[in-house]
A and B are shown apart, each in its own frame.
Chain A
Amino acid sequence: MSKERTRILVVDDEEIVRESLSGWLAKDGYTLATAHDGPTALEMLRQSRWSILLVDLKMPGMDGLQVLEASKQIQPDVAAVIMTAYATVETAVEAMKSGAYDYLVKPFDPEELSLMMVKIVAQQALVRENVLLRKVLKRDFHFRDMVSKNPAMHRMFDLARSAAKSQSTILILGESGTGKELLARAIHAESPRQAAPFVAVSCAALTETLLESELFGHEKGSFTGAVARRKGRFEVAHGGTLFLDEIGDISPKLQLDLLRVLEERKLVRVGGTDPIDVDVRIIAATNRDLKKAAADGQFREDLYYRLNVIPILLPPLRERREDIPLLVEHFLEHLSVETDRQIEGVSADALAALMRHDWPGNVRELRNVLERGMVVAKDQLIHPEDLGLSGSGLRTDTSDPGLTLDEVERRHITAVLQHTGGNVTQAARTLDIDRVTLYNKIKKYGLRRGEDDGFSEPPAARS
């Protein structure tokens, strides 16, 4: 390693000391500079990076310890060595307490000075290497907020990075909870459109009429309740990215409307007549087999081909179990900030349980399970019993004969959603109702859903 990169600043009020020390060290190839007092040294620290500070303890005005304390505010990683002519335990303790790397008693043995410099340089090289490795690790395992060390996911990250740079429509395919919206946001953030809005619409949560108005906007009086002109999501996303989640669930009429907008890059608001130019990059997502739906005639083939320009497949969590420890670490780091609770991690048993679980609700379910674990953990570790995974079969306590029908329904829906890790499609299938009905019931019973959360009962209903 080149010693020129090690920049040493000698601070001493005696010129002879500054000269002799800097001259001696310069022959080792370090980059040297001197300052005759504390304020000059601090100014130099503000102006450029220094690796080592050799500061005399006794100087008129600002003494060495004051320089040391102030220097730590400016460059916390600078290694400061206090030089003193008076060797007392008190001085040494005080210097070390103030954050000095070490201290030297003048005159010092050349061997002591030489070894100390070598040691500091080696330590700083290690710190730099560590930072570099962490960066490489982060770059290798991360795509924005997504983490993985699975080779298929890495290929997907590479594809997403390249796709982000283009203007092409992207179709994200993957089970619910695999992070389709997170990926869409990451692509937007990596794209040239990053400064413009990212607008997300869940197509399955709304009825046909509402979704039409939501996407394309409406003119005042275009339908009952349209009391004012409203811009649609396409217009709001102008210049940016429109994320259409659960695209496989839209009605045939909306499929046609959407196809027109994609082809013409123009839309007409509901109840309006004037075409409006829109410049949006579409990222669509679905957990359905859209190709099969197109082949079966349930989804317009032409729209399918319009959307399927760059398909990106997000594998389910059960197919990348090796990511579970990494994801656990990632989520605990985030959750500790959100919940303001410091947890060291998960116990070996708990990790084994997490590795065994099938994760029908994928990464979202894992996050929810960890959030629960974090809340109920009694010590610094999350144990298997904190996760609520044991006997994870569907159980609903609806046996109380005093319950109303609504309460039984609410409890059952909550339990089904928890079991599917918030996967609405899967829950709707289990409950044998359509997704819009399920969304309405979720709304009716006030079951909370965050952007990336699963479902839970409202706080008041928690025991």
Chain B
Amino acid sequence: MAADVHIWWIGADAADDRLLETIRERTAASFGVQARLYRHADRPNHAFDPRRGQHSSTAILKWLVARDQPGHRMLAITDADLFIPVLTFVYGEAQLGGRAAVVSTARLLVDQGGRHDAALAADRIVKECVHELGHTFGLLHCDSPGCVMRRSVNAIEVDAKTMTLCGPCEARYRELRHEDGHHE
């Protein structure tokens, strides 16, 4: 059976398989979909902007869509720092109601005191992955404290939210899936 979501490590460093497996489990559980890890050596090197020393998240999304077969959602995870032209950085970007999402681990690995906390970093990355994937299903940002769909523009805000959808977002997700022709 084909997976609903393909999760693909596109970073320069070696993949953290345990982290990727956690992301797979968590996203599958959050959205009730099939998720599978997708491995390929291709990397979106063209998305690197030498002036900014960052990768364009928008260019990565376009690259993902061009590569994937219709019917799947692609969640790419990278260790590159991401940007969109008007902003200094983004934790991730997704096509709203589309097929592609990308999340960067670059700014989520270090905690506030500058120390590395693997568990905290994993939590943050999982939250942002669920968040960006939520956008591909059509979910907007949510104002409820704790909801994974709440916008976070710094690590404190990422830490403040949970990994799960709040009640109204959960209901909205079901509605959107129903509209999309996915009946439970």
Q: Name A's B-contacting residues (CB within 8 A).
A: 14, 16-17, 19-21, 23-24, 26-29, 83, 106-111, 113-114
Contacts and interface: CB of A to CB of B under 8 A. Distances in A.
Nearest to B83: A107
A183 B89 CA distance: 65
Given A27-B135, A28-B140, A16 B154 contact: no
B87 interface: yes
Interface pairs A-B: 8 shortest CB-CB? A20-B84, A111-B153, A110-B153, A29-B140, A28-B141, A21-B86, A107-B88, A110-B87
Instruction: Give the interface SS of chain B, mostly helix, strand, loop or mixed.
Output: loop
B164 interface: no
Contacts of B151: 27-28, 114
B172 to A, nearest CB: 11
Nearest to A21: B86
A121 B3 CA distance: 41
Contact of B87 (A14, A27, A28, A109): A109
A114 B154 CA distance: 11
Given A16-B58, A20-B58, A28-B140, A107 B154 contact: no
Nearest to A1: B143
A20 B153 contact: no
Nearest to A20: B84
Contacts of A19: 58
A83 B90 CA distance: 18
15 contacts: A14-B85, A16-B85, A20-B85, A21-B84, A21-B86, A23-B58, A24-B87, A27-B96, A106-B85, A107-B52, A107-B86, A109-B87, A109-B153, A110-B90, A113-B86
Interface in B79-112: 83-90, 93-94, 96
Given A19-B58, A114-B151, A27 B141 contact: yes
Contacts of A27: 94, 96, 135, 140-141, 151
Nearest to B54: A107
Nearest to A10: B86
A75 B93 CA distance: 33
B108 to A, nearest CB: 14
B25 to A, nearest CB: 25
Given A26-B96, A29-B141, A107 B85 contact: yes
A19 B98 CA distance: 15
A113 B90 CA distance: 12
B86 A114 contact: no
Given A19-B58, A20-B58, A28-B151, A110 B89 contact: yes
Instruction: Give the interface SS of chain A, mostly helix, strand, loop or mixed.
Output: helix
A49 to B, nearest CB: 22
A111 B85 CA distance: 15
B87 A108 contact: yes
Given A27-B135, A106-B86, 8 more contacts: A20-B58, A20-B85, A20-B87, A24-B87, A27-B96, A109-B88, A110-B88, A111-B153
Contacts of A24: 84, 86-87, 90
A19 B95 CA distance: 11
B174 to A, nearest CB: 19
Listed residue (B96, B135, B140) with the most chain A CB atoms within 10 angstroms of its CB: B140
A52 to B, nearest CB: 15
Contacts of B94: 27
Interface string B110-140: 0000000000000000000000000100001
Listed residue (A14, A19, A109, A110) with the most chain B CB atoms within 10 angstroms of its CB: A110
Contacts of A108: 86-88
Listed residue (B58, B83, B151, B154) with the most chain A CB atoms within 10 angstroms of its CB: B151
Interface in B127-184: 135, 140-141, 151, 153-154
Nearest to A106: B86
Contacts of A106: 85-86
B90 A17 contact: no
A20 B94 CA distance: 11
A113 to B, nearest CB: 7
Interface in B16-56: 52
Contacts of B135: 27
Contacts of A109: 87-88, 153
Nearest to B141: A28
Given A27-B96, A27-B141, A111 B86 contact: no
A27 B93 CA distance: 10
Nearest to B89: A110
A17 B140 contact: no
A279 B84 CA distance: 73
Given A20-B58, A29-B140, A29-B141, A114 B88 contact: no
A384 B47 CA distance: 77
Contacts of B96: 23, 26-27
A83 B86 contact: yes
A19 B140 CA distance: 17
A158 to B, nearest CB: 41
B171 to A, nearest CB: 16
A143 B87 CA distance: 53
Contacts of A21: 84-86
Nearest to B149: A27
A113 B153 CA distance: 10
A304 to B, nearest CB: 65
Contacts of A29: 140-141
A435 to B, nearest CB: 69
Nearest to B134: A27
